[in-house]
Amino acid sequence: MTQTNPSTTTLPSLDRDYPLLPEQIQEYRNNGHVLLRGVAASPQEVAPYRQAITGIMADFATGKRPLAERDTYGKAFLQLGNLWLKNDAVRRFVLARRFAKIAADLMDVDGVRLYHDQALYKEPGGGHTPWHQDQQYWPLDGVQCVTLWMPLVDADAAMGTMRFASGSQHLGYLGPQNISDASEARWSTFVAEKGYPIASAGAMQAGDATFHNGWTLHGAPGNESPDRTREVMTIIYLEDGARITTPDSPSRESDLKGCFPGLKPGDLAASPINPLLYHRQKMP
């Protein structure tokens, strides 16, 4: 059930356009990723949204097993999706026009819908995030998708910010391979053999963001901080008008049920939880 936050009327607006430059758009299209500074204009603009997101994550983390008892995936981060359905402040953040317009501009599409959001909190001492493709989880072959990845706190490279294999998105779908030790071994070897340059986001302030193509191979180092959590919120966008494709793996079957409730392959990817967030002709 959506929780009402009485302070939503005082939350910073996230509607004003971000001054995206042509060279940043070209960087995204060439490399499959781009780092944009100040997507949320300042740490102060992020702070009230962080409070709402972190409150949900604190409840979610209660009772989790110690890091030493988890597998590689579990050590990488605490992960929770569709927070926008749980809290009005988070809803405002996830559905923000500013972020959605950036996604549409980077993909050169008229409109974008929400696929889902995810909070990814890498705890102090948390493990690395193995190399992977996001879109291998999604029943959206032939569909343009982009992920916004935004730290809600200042995060230096040692806390586990993003790394990308630049240009790898041009290969498209490389087959089912969930995040695991096997994906790390397979894709690290693959990236080295193909000679893809590895680009690291490095230090990021709260409100900076990377955007990466659904097919871009990426991962993150572990969090070496002894006492600071890498608090990150992600939002995944898909191009408006896309159709769901037939799942070819259990992960994609699960995402079809969870992210497109009531829909089936061939349907427009537009369930009630995939709202249209921005459209050049339909929205100001």
Q: Tell me the per-residue pLDDT of 233-281, one tens digit each, with 9 for 90 and over.
A: 999 999 999 999 999 999 999 999 999 999 999 999 999 999 999 999 8
What per-residue string of b and e applies to 32-63 under the rule 16 or more CB within 10 Å gives b?
Answer: bbbbbeebbeebebbebbbebbbbbbeebeee
Q: Give domain status of residue 284, yes or no.
A: no
Tally of domains in the chain: 1
Collapsing DSSP states into helix, strand and coil, what is residue 214?
coil
For 70, residues 6+ apart whose C-beta sits below 8 A from its C-beta are: none
Is residue 117 assigned to a domain?
yes
Establish if 118 belongs to a structural domain: yes
Q: How many helical (H) and strand (E) elements, i.e. helices and strands, does the chain have?
A: 7, 11
What mean pLDDT comes out for the span 49-65?
A: 90
Strand partners, 3: 87
Q: What is the pLDDT of residue 43?
A: 83
In a domain, 5, yes or no: no
Residue type, 12: P
- What gap in Å lies between CA 196 and CA 164, rounded to an integer? 9
Domain assignment present for residue 10? The answer is no
Contacts of 139 (CB under 8 A, 6+ apart): 244, 245, 246, 247, 252, 253, 255, 256, 260, 265
- Give the whole-angstrom CA distance, residue 139 versus residue 38: 32
pLDDT at 2 over 70: no
Q: Each residue of 136-154: pLDDT tens digit?
A: 999 999 999 999 999 999 9
DSSP 129: E
Q: Do the beta carbons of residue 168 and residue 215 sit within 8 Å?
A: yes
Instruction: Express each pLDDT in 64-106 by its tens digit.
Output: 877 778 888 777 778 999 999 999 999 999 999 999 999 999 9
Q: What is the mean pLDDT of the chain?
A: 93
What's the pLDDT at 4? Answer: 45
The pLDDT of residue 3 is 46
| Distances, alpha carbon 3 to alpha carbons 90, 113, 115, 236, 258, in Å | 10, 23, 21, 22, 21
Mean pLDDT of 114-138: 94
**Domain containing residue 224: CATH number:** 2.60.120.620
| pLDDT of res. 193 | 95
The answer to whether 55 touches 100, Cβ cutoff 8 Å, is no
- Token pair recorded at residue 203: 């230090």
- Whether the pLDDT of residue 7 is over 60: the answer is no
Residue 178 domain-assigned? yes
Q: Which of 1-15, 53-67, 143-157 has the highest mean pLDDT?
A: 143-157
Query: Which is more confident, 164 or 3?
Result: 164
Measured distance between the N- and C-terminal CA atoms of the chain, rounded to whole angstroms: 30
- CA angle (159, 185, 168) in 5-degree steps: 80
- Contact status, residue 89 vs residue 133, Cβ threshold 8 Å: no
Do residues 102 and 18 touch, judged by C-beta distance below 8 A? yes
Residue 194 included in any domain: yes
Q: Work out whether strand 230-239 and strand 198-200 pair parallel, antiparallel, or are unpaired.
A: unpaired
pLDDT class of 284 with cuts at 50, 70, 90: low
Cα(227)–Cα(158) distance, rounded to whole angstroms?
Answer: 12
8 Å CB contact between 167 and 32: yes
Is there a domain that residue 56 lies in? Answer: yes
Q: Please give the Cα distance from 263 to 124 (Å, whole number).
A: 39
> What pLDDT sits at residue 9?
63
Tokens 């572990």, located at residue: 222
Among 6-10, 90-94, 186-190, whose mean pLDDT is lowest? 6-10
Q: Which range marks the domain in which residue 105 is found?
A: 19-279
